[in-house]
A and B are shown apart, each in its own frame.
Chain A
Amino acid sequence: MRVQGLYSWHNPWFRWSVASVGALTVVSILVGFIWLPSVHGDFTAQGIWASICRAAGVPDDWSRADKAAAEPSPSTAVVLERTMARTGSSGAIGRGATLALQCTMCHGAQGMSVSDAPNLAGQYAEVVIKQLHDYRRGNRSSAIMQALSANLTDPDIEDLAAYYAYLPRARTAPASYSNAVPALVRVGDPMRNIAPCISCHGGTDQKFGTPWLEGMPVGYLTAQLKSFASGERRNDSHAQMRNMARAMSAAEIQAVAEFYARQGGAAD
């Protein structure tokens, strides 16, 4: 056994294995980076070097050509950070409560709306923060809310969110999601690509940035679903709600809204 003689070109095992692995590598690289791209127009349009770079996953220009035309304005400027959900200090809650005095006309004295404006009591902080930023920046439209949010500073928004998150939220969903619950809420409709409501809005899972819906006014929920469906409202960052709502019929929108709005199970 001449182990010491193994790592030398004189050893046929060494010679052949290193040479054939090397040759295989070189040939596959040549095919993958030069020959195959050469048959694709969009790979070769800018010459051989650009083509190799693209095959390596590094185009010299990530978004070619008409940049201005291609870029739609973003649907929201808010990046959801988990720090947004931190429980506010009592100071922040107090300041938020003061600021919230201008919200009570529509959203109710304790954040429970008696009009078709949404309840805010117990709403997740990051939800309130995101919506106020979107109103302020014009990513979500409402004559009233855009005007009211225009004067709010970032700390104001955080304080308001802390205050509303601190209030007790309405709880109207049943203890278990049985067959009596509308199918779209419970299991969605896979063939139409509609995810179950409870997979994000609480029930199965509560995804970060999705609002608490229980106890919301029917009018508000149907109006929002319809405006998501028409594309009038488009501040859902990944079009997640537009895609759900577009596939829903008017009757389904009504049924889902009524489920979330029903009062303590006594809606019937």
Chain B
Amino acid sequence: VYLARRLVLAHFWVAFAAFTVAIVLGEWQMFVRSPLHSWVDNPEHYYRSVTAHGTVMAYVFPTLIAMGFGYAITELALKRPLVGLRWAWIAFWLVMAGTVMASAPVAAGKASVLYTFYPPMIGSAFYYLGIVLVVVGSWIWVALMSINLRVWKKENAGATVPLAMYGNVAGAYLWAWTSIGAAVEILVLILPVALGFKDKIDAGLSRVFFSWTLHAIVYFWLMPSYIAFYTIVPRAIGGRLYSDTMGRVAFALFLVFSMPIGIHHLFADPQVGAGFKFVHAAMTGMVSVPTLLTVFTIVASVEIAARLRGGKGLLGWVKALPWKNPMMLAVTFSFIMLGFGGAGGIINMSYQLNETVHNTQWVTGHFHLIFAGAIVIMYFMVVYELWPQLTRCPPLPERLLRIQLWLWFIGMMVLTMPWHLVGLLGMPRRMAYFDYTHPALQPQAWTVIASTIGGFLLVLSTFLFLFILARAGHSTAVPAPFTFSVAVHPHARTPAALNTFGLWVALMIGLTLINYGFPIAQLALLEGTSVPAIPIGGR
């Protein structure tokens, strides 16, 4: 990395500092609601903690990772200095300011509304303004990614955009469009109430706008991990990428299908018609296609690595894989968690099956497995991969890396599997305490202890991660140039559709308007749908 070294490093440090605070809060939540602790005296403290945990983990942490990794990709893949470094720093400080501005009212108990906002609950205006700042900072990043690609294209007319940059810009465009939902919700519906100009809020419409953001944001979180799957994993384990085209198709499909599906979060909401719920459910099914493509492509790439190392037989090649390589371990863990989480997701998107798991711990289990499991474990690997470039440190100790990854994987499985189980039994989510003396609940008490232990392993893993980075040290030696995976057929012609974004962005916007336009217009025009706001922590 040339110019943006300190910039990327700043993003990663702040992201993981916030992450560490939030994960300790998460474990505290697990502990106080387990039988190991008496009921938390003030349940509001619990929801304060949930709000902080969710806000950091959903908005601050993945946004900073995507931004930092995006800047690194721009320089490493396009092989030219980042354009707009000053703007990138402005964006970084906006995100920082927003984080502080949002955290202060949460810590003070003035905004315990959870990161999903849940109008008619209304918290301190500073909380929402802080989140707006974080999002505005990330919009600068979106613009920078687009501008850098344009500049590069001008200099390299007719050349194929490197796959990493293609995925990176796809993620940026996806985020630009999907963040509009929550932005409209905050700016148009929530802030006028939070600032005291209005008493009432249209909670149903707010929820529809939030669902616009709520599902596609997951794919924004996921993009850095998928970029790592395609462009780092095959190289790191000594293989080749099975298909560069398939990577582009997957990124394009995420652009098209991430957005028009959010109403599957509103299956229980009466304000949305059943027809739209079905259409969104059907399209949610489509979004599993790019993930399946990715899994097949990466498994094929891994097989190539194994066969290059002398692996034989229908499945015998698995033994020949470089299992001591942390990247091999991480991608395996990631796919196992993605498999369980994805299967759970297909259950969540089905209207009828969703009825049985709606608002239970199952849902918490699902998104922790996907995001905190499959995605975050790849964030770790991205940071490990880039660290020698960023700090010029000697190679990281692989044994410690493996221990850290194992801890994360076991911790996440032990945390989320009991959640899935008790979710099926009906345990509600977002509870500050459970009455374990009740004969109906007593048999489930052990599961909460198990999850607490799982959470503890995750905290250990986090501290080990920080330890590895902190003691990596520096050397003056210039690191070997960073390389991305090479495809099996590296010079295959890339079709114009997969070298540009216009078609996919147009389909994304068109499909969103079809799937969201009518419900939003109808709810916005319907009279008498606003309800009195419920100020949180007002007195």
- State which residues 140-172 of B face A: CB under 8 Å: 158, 160
Judge if B511 is at the interface, Cβ distance under 8 Å. Answer: yes
Contact A25–B514 (Cβ < 8 Å): yes
**Contact flags (1/0) for B258-299 with A, using CB distance below 8 Å?**
000000000000011111111100110010000000000000
A10 within 8 A of B: no
Does A246 sit within 8 A of B, measured CB to CB? no
Closest CB in chain B relative to A144 CB, distance in Å: 30
A220 at the interface (CB under 8 A from B): no
A 22-60 binary contact with B (CB < 8 Å = 1; else 0) = 001100110111001100000000000000101111100
* B433 in the interface (beta carbon within 8 A): yes
Q: Considering the complex, which residues of chain A in the window 76-108 have a beta carbon less than 8 Å from any beta carbon of chain B?
A: 79-83
A166 CB–B CB distance under 8 Å: no
By a CB distance below 8 angstroms, the chain A residues around B41 are: 176-178, 186-187
Query: Is A65 an interface residue, CB under 8 A from the partner?
Result: no
Tell me the smallest distance from the CB of A4 to a CB of chain B, in Å. Answer: 9
Nearest Cβ in chain A — how far from B418, in angstroms?
Answer: 19
Contacting pair B279 A206 (CB below 8 A): no
Question: Does the CB pair A32–B507 fall under 8 Å?
Answer: no
| Nearest CB on A from B257, distance (A) | 9
Stretch among A153-161, A197-205, A223-231, A256-264 lining the B interface: A197-205
Known: A25-B511, A191-B435. A57 touches B519 (CB 8 A): yes
Q: Are B199 and A83 in contact (CB under 8 A)?
A: yes
Is B498's CB within 8 Å of the partner chain A?
yes
Task: Mark the stretch among B89-97, B213-221, B528-536 that contacts chain A.
Answer: B528-536
Would you call B535 and A14 a contact (CB within 8 A)?
Answer: no
Do A3 and B496 form a contact, CB below 8 Å, given A14-B503, A56-B273, A191-B435?
A: yes
Does B188 have its Cβ within 8 Å of any Cβ on chain A?
no
Q: Which residues of B contact A24 (CB under 8 A)?
A: 282-283, 286
Q: Give A55 to B282 CA distance when docked, in angstroms.
A: 15
For A190, the chain B residues whose CB sits under 8 A away are 431, 433-435
Q: Per a CB cutoff under 8 Å, which of B43, B282, B510, B518 touches A204?
A: B43
Residues of B with C-beta under 8 A to A207: 534
Please, which residue of chain B has its CB at the minimum distance from the CB of A35? B278
Residue A189 interfacial (CB < 8 Å)? yes
**Considering the chains assembled together, what is the distance between the CA atoms of A126 and B89 in angstroms?**
48
- B10 interface residue per 8 A CB criterion: no
Q: A187-B433, A191-B441, A204-B44 are in contact. Are A55 and B498 (CB under 8 A)?
A: no
| B158–A31 touching, CB < 8 Å | no
Cross-interface CB contact of A80 among B279, B500, B532, B538, cutoff 8 Å? B532
Interface range on chain A (Cβ under 8 Å from partner): 35 or more
The answer to whether the Cβ of A118 comes within 8 Å of any Cβ in the partner chain is no
Interface string of B464-503 (1 = CB under 8 A from A): 0000000000000000000000000000000111111011
Indicate with 1 or 0, residue by residue over A156-190, a CB within 8 angstroms of chain B CB atoms. Answer: 00000000000000000000111100000011011
Q: Chain B CB within 10 Å — which of A31, A202, A205 has the most?
A: A205
- A5 contacts which chain B residues (CB < 8 A)? 496
Taking the complex as formed, is A9 at the interface, i.e. its CB lies under 8 A from any CB of chain B? no
Known contacts A3-B496, A56-B518, A57-B519, A205 near B273 by CB under 8 Å: no
Whether A1 lies near B275 (C-beta < 8 A) is: no
| Cβ-defined contact, B519 with A82, below 8 A | no
Cβ-neighbour of B499 out of A1, A21, A58, A176 (below 8 A): A1
Q: Residue A18 at the B interface, CB < 8 A?
A: yes
Write the chain B residue with the least CB distance to A57. Answer: B273
Indicate whether B537 reaches chain A with its CB closer than 8 angstroms. yes
Q: Which of A82, A83, A191 contacts B438 (CB 8 A)?
A: A191
Whether A54 lies near B273 (C-beta < 8 A) is: yes
Q: B199 to A82, Cβ gap below 8 A? A: yes
Residues of B within 8 A of A81 (CB): 199, 532
B507:A18 contact, CB within 8 angstroms: yes
| Chain A residues with CB below 8 A from B196, complex form | 82
Task: Provide the residues of chain A in CB contact with B116, threshold 8 Å.
Answer: none
CA distance A204 to B354 in the complex (A): 33
Q: Which residue of A lies closest to B433 (CB)?
A: A187
Contact, CB under 8 Å: A6 / B538:
no
* Given A29-B279, A56-B522, A191-B441; 17 other pairs, CB 8 A cutoff: A1-B158, A1-B499, A6-B502, A7-B502, A14-B497, A18-B503, A24-B283, A33-B275, A37-B274, A57-B276, A79-B532, A177-B42, A190-B433, A191-B435, A199-B43, A203-B42, A208-B538
Interface residues of B (CB under 8 A from A): 38-39, 41-44, 158, 160, 196, 199, 256, 271-279, 282-283, 286, 431, 433-435, 438, 440-441, 495-500, 502-504, 507, 510-511, 514, 518-519, 522, 532-539
10 pairs from A and B in contact (CB 8 Å cutoff): A1-B499, A6-B496, A17-B256, A33-B278, A37-B274, A55-B275, A80-B532, A82-B199, A199-B44, A205-B539
- Where the two chains meet, the residues of A that have a C-beta atom closer than 8 Å to any C-beta of B are 1-3, 5-7, 11, 13-14, 17-18, 21, 24-25, 28-29, 31-33, 36-37, 52, 54-58, 79-83, 176-179, 186-187, 189-191, 196, 199, 202-208
